[in-house]
A and B are shown apart, each in its own frame.
Chain A
Amino acid sequence: MLSYILRRLLLLFPTLLGVLAVVFFVMAFSPGGFGGTSLNAEGAQTEGEDARRAQKALERRYGLDLPKAAQFGRWLNQVSPIGFRMSGDLKLSEEERAEVEAVFAGQPYAARDAELSRLRLIVETIAGYTDQEPLELAERLRADLEQPAAVLDYFSEIDASLSESETAELIASVDGLKEADGSEGDLLRVQKKLLQVLAFEASGRSRIRYDRPAFKAPDLGQTLRGRDVGELLLERVPVTLLLNLLAIPLIYVVAITSGLYAARHKGGWFDVGSGAAFLGLWSVPTIWAGVLLITYFANEQYLRWFPAAGLHDLQASGMAFLPSWNEGGFERGWLLDTLWHLVLPVLCMVYGGFAVMSKVMRGAMLDNLSADFVRTARAKGVAEGGVLWRHAFRNSVLPLITMVSGILPALFVGSFVVETIFSINGLGKLGVEAAFQKDRELVMATTLIGGLLGLTSELIRDLCYAIADPRVSYD
């Protein structure tokens, strides 16, 4: 058994890697690639310079100028708990910063604090990127700035993604300097121009440093909109968990009891009725049901029993937590308010789930009720309740265990449709929107978590088989 578990665990990683690779490369090779579009939500274009700058900033933040396979490697390194450091994570110490700034102090192009810190940032990034001593680099840069033509080399050192026209413009401005009468003002202008472009190209540039791998905190990266992916997931998980923790037990309780009852009175009105009703519900599309629920149960024109959107009332932040009675009458409090807002979405998530579960339960129960041991039990004179619960039910639970193991990943799967209709910020909406926006880090993070949960629960399920069913053995 132990060796089986070990084998499965070892298999888990290549499988996960495969899943991640497929998702990553499908995204990378899809038209538009990462981040994709420079169009805004209404389909209007943003003006070119703007879009180009944004694109460049993205390229540097996510290393998009690397080959696709290297990008995947970079991402894996980023999420793995053991790996190489990124050059961008190397920061200068306070003293080093002061030393670097002292090198440039007093130069006309570093007259203001902001300009000085820009120079420091340039030195910091290039030093990390090209493995140079920061202080030496700073000295060299200061010397080179006196002869601006030499500064052009720095762009190739940091693999800057300058377009031909940009490079031509820079060279022209440097060449223009030679022809000019060499006045101070011209030099300063060229120096400032060079530093500006260099700072833009250097900011956020980072590469893997192949020194000794070390333990580090796994980093899920940043979304396109600049939010921390881990933080964003933590914000969404409780919402989805809450919805699922209400919905899934409800489905199980209703489905199991009705399945039991239907099997007990096979062919009776309840059996036929519940079977038909559940199948009917199962075939109603959620998107339609959700809109109907809102228009009929949350609308002043019909019945306004429930709220139409969100998880809290406008005034919820001012409410007490528990329901209370005071002079103003009954106040429902924050807890009840939340539950009240959850009624429609949970209903929407639940109604389609009864059919499968209750049919499975009913089938298993019928099998067992006609089995020999039940007949024996009856012949022995065991009371009907005892037969039902102690003999038939216990044996019918086996197939249910199989289905229960799917709960673990299911708890973290949000429903895009329900969340969109009821304006709830859960994982479902997050994942689908991420895929639409081609937000790579977010899509990869959800894939990673989903894959891990799915594979683990499959392992647990297989182990449960072995424990529950003596016919299954892995040795």
Chain B
Amino acid sequence: MDNRFGFKDLVLTVLLVGILASILLAMKQYDRQWEVMQRIDERLAEQGEVLRELNTTLSQGVRLSETGEGSAAAFGQRAPLPQTRWLTARDQPEYAEGDWFVDAFAQSVGKLTPLISTDIYQSTIESFVLESLIVRDSETLEWQPWIAESWEVSDDGLTIAFDLRKDVVFSDGTPLTSADVLFTLDMIRNPEINAPRLSSYYEPIESLVAEGPHRVVFTLNEPYFLSLTITGGMDILAKHYYEKFTPEEFNASTGLLFGSGAYKLPMDPEDWRPGSGQIELVRNDEYWGPRPTFERLRWQEITDEQAQLVSMRNGDIDRYSVRPEQYERLKTDENLNASADLYEYSTATSGYRYIAWNQVDKDGNPSLFADVRVRRAMTMLLNRQELCEQLMVGLATVVSGPFNPLSPQSNPDLEPIGYDPDAAIALLAEAGFADRDGDGVLEDENGRPFRFKLIYPTGSTNYQQMATYCKDAYARAGITMELDPTEFNTMINRIQSRDFEAISLGWGGVIESDPKQIFHSDSIAEGGDNYVGYRNEELDGFIDQARVTVDRDERLALWHEVHRILQEDQPYTFLFIRKSVNFLDDRFRNVKVTKTGLNDRTEMFVPRSEQRWTQ
């Protein structure tokens, strides 16, 4: 049968395709080899450069010592290294360098470039590559020197001067000077850089001048309580590196992460591309402080919860964060506990959950909750301790106000309002609510029953259970609470239009927060976050005063007053802050729980015999 496509043709075609494919693969293989060669070449060139620099410094050093200003004297002047917390690990007998720390991300990171990235996990990675002038100690939460060896704040709080260390270098060996600090502020404030929300933080800075290469002086418009955070806390960008890029190039870039930190990207930052499913940092061999312990830090992108758990069991990742519903089961899981340790802790940066009582009703009149007695009663009716222990399986702590109990901002003398249904009912009776017709439901003087709707986010079992718990608690006191689970976006619309009676949500946390946005009466108007319409002039006064008080102790005293008033007024029923629960592979040593969570991984190490990863 003439020219039909037969079996032989098929074999021939398959053979041809096979040959073509292997040629292609071979070409690809060759290409990869070439790339590796290139990388090795670059490394060699880099090291040659370092050697040459070393040689020049050495020869200069010799010359210097001839003139009497020995290099030894220069080293003697060097300020003590700020990384004292890292150094404690080095005193331990088993201390060894090497190994990797492999962590997992549940979401992909699309951009590493600082300032313009909005990815949640980017800041974690950035913290290993960029450094700021001063940092908060994780144990005391006080500022401590880092790039700046000391700083002075003027008495009026308007000028802050930082003296920079002279030995700080970026990961290519270029020294960090005051020009880099000036450049960083210019970058942040450059309107062409796609970071409008960031630049607004820095508005209180009036000017920044360099007095010599190692001293910068910030001047502020007005005294501001976060002035140290915005000046000393900004991550310093390298002028010589970032000035190569035009604002357009910078905005379009994905991986421009380059700094003076202990780790750096393994490739030229311009070549970094997202989407590979993992992010890796390598030790910065030029680091100006003690040599970093881990050879690499790596983040694997594992989106599925189950896959993360399996990877933890397999030893592919070193940290697994446990959700409350898994807690009971995993706490006693033999397999996991054999190779990992469980850590439970609260951090000073975790936010709180609340129920907000809207004091204004739809027509702009005072609502049920405008009466402080009612709000206090609503809090007293909830057994928040039981809520934490049962619903949150003990992984939450009751809070008394918007400030994190671990933060110095929180008033240590205040105890959360206790569970006291009898007192609550008495308070409600005082406010005019009583069961007048004997149907078990409270009514006001006009016979209208006490009922309201609580909105909370849909899709979360945790919120759902909590709302049901509250409903029961209030029903026992004769208050009808209806549940109204609402989708996020709709919820935001309703908050903006003030169309709700009570709402349950959470606020994110920082070490020292600014309550003005949420509780000051200035924030009631259009779009402000005081969406419950809460107004207390005494509180406004304290907040305004605290915001311009630069002295730490004076300010903390004012914040404590703010905390006390909020406790009395209960504009929200403050519920709890959640604890974090993490499994960490047990080969890591020097692991400590600090006020900001597990200590930084730069402080940990793995003994030589237990090291897992090398390359």
Contact = CB atoms under 8 A, between A and B. Distances in A.
Check if A and B associate.
Answer: yes
Interface of A: 30-33, 36-50, 52-54, 56-57, 112-114, 117-118, 121-122, 163-165, 189, 196, 199-200, 202-204, 223-228, 232, 235-236, 239, 290-291, 294-295, 298-301, 304, 307-312, 314-315, 318, 320-322, 334-335, 419-425, 429, 438
Contacts of A304: 314
Give me the 5 closest cross-chain CB pairs, A-B, nearest first. A32-B489, A48-B529, A321-B29, A44-B508, A114-B186
A42 B120 CA distance: 11
Given A196-B203, A308-B314, A421-B303, 10 more contacts: A32-B493, A37-B492, A44-B508, A46-B508, A226-B111, A232-B110, A294-B304, A299-B314, A314-B102, A322-B25
B489 A53 contact: no
A15 to B, nearest CB: 30
Interface of B: 25-26, 28-29, 32-33, 102, 107-108, 110-111, 116-120, 186, 189-192, 194, 196-197, 199-200, 203, 221, 251-252, 254, 273-278, 298, 300-304, 306-308, 310-311, 313-316, 335, 351, 457, 460, 463, 487-490, 492-493, 505-509, 514, 517-518, 523, 525-529, 613, 615
Contacts of B351: 42, 44
A222 to B, nearest CB: 9
Given A46-B508, A200-B191, A312-B276, A31 B615 contact: no
A47 B313 CA distance: 38
Contact of B32 (A37, A189, A321, A438): A321
A47 B529 contact: yes
Contacts of A113: 186
A423 B489 CA distance: 27
Contacts of A32: 488-490, 492-493
Contacts, number: 217
B302 A310 contact: yes
A57 B196 contact: yes
Given A163-B526, A314-B613, A318-B615, A36 B192 contact: no
B315 to A, nearest CB: 8
Contacts of A39: 488, 492, 505
A48 B517 contact: yes
A44 to B, nearest CB: 4
27 contacts: A31-B489, A43-B460, A43-B463, A44-B506, A48-B517, A54-B196, A118-B189, A118-B191, A164-B526, A199-B191, A200-B200, A203-B191, A223-B110, A232-B110, A235-B274, A295-B306, A299-B310, A300-B335, A308-B316, A309-B311, A311-B277, A314-B102, A314-B298, A314-B613, A322-B26, A425-B277, A438-B489
A310 B196 contact: no
A32 B120 CA distance: 21
A424 B300 CA distance: 11
Given A32-B489, A236-B275, A314-B298, A421 B304 contact: yes
A56 B196 contact: yes
A40 B311 CA distance: 26
Contacts of B251: 226
A114 B239 CA distance: 14
Nearest to B100: A314
Contacts of B518: 47-48
B507 A44 contact: yes
A165 B525 contact: yes
A46 B197 CA distance: 12
Contacts of A52: 527
Given A298-B310, A314-B298, A117 B190 contact: yes
Given A48-B517, A163-B527, A226-B111, A310 B191 contact: no
A46 B493 CA distance: 15
Given A32-B488, A45-B505, A47-B517, A227 B28 contact: no
A40 B200 CA distance: 20
B314 A298 contact: yes
A300 B199 CA distance: 49
A203 B315 CA distance: 48
A415 B307 CA distance: 17
A407 B179 CA distance: 58
A189 B219 CA distance: 13
B278 A310 contact: yes
Nearest to B36: A318
B253 to A, nearest CB: 10
Contacts of A163: 526-527
A114 B189 contact: yes
A32 B489 CA distance: 4
Contact of A425 (B301, B314, B490, B517): B301
A225 B110 contact: yes
Contacts of B509: 44
A57 B277 contact: no
B311 A308 contact: yes
A124 to B, nearest CB: 10
A44 B200 CA distance: 21
Quick one: which of A114, A200, A224 has the most chain B CB within 10 A?
Answer: A114
Contacts of A295: 306, 310
Contact of B197 (A43, A54, A314, A320): A54
Quick one: which of B194, B221, B300, B306 has the most chain A CB within 10 A?
Answer: B306
Nearest to B614: A315
A235 to B, nearest CB: 4
A41 B192 contact: no
Contacts of B189: 114, 118
Contact of B304 (A31, A224, A420): A420
A45 B508 contact: yes
A320 B32 contact: yes
A125 B603 CA distance: 49
Contacts of A122: 191
Contacts of A425: 108, 275, 277, 301
A429 B506 contact: no
Quick one: which of A48, A53, A224, A294 has the most chain B CB within 10 A?
Answer: A48
A310 B300 contact: yes
Nearest to A298: B310
Contact of B273 (A202, A235, A301): A235
Nearest to B189: A114
Contacts of A112: 186
Contacts of B200: 49-50, 53, 200
Nearest to B194: A226
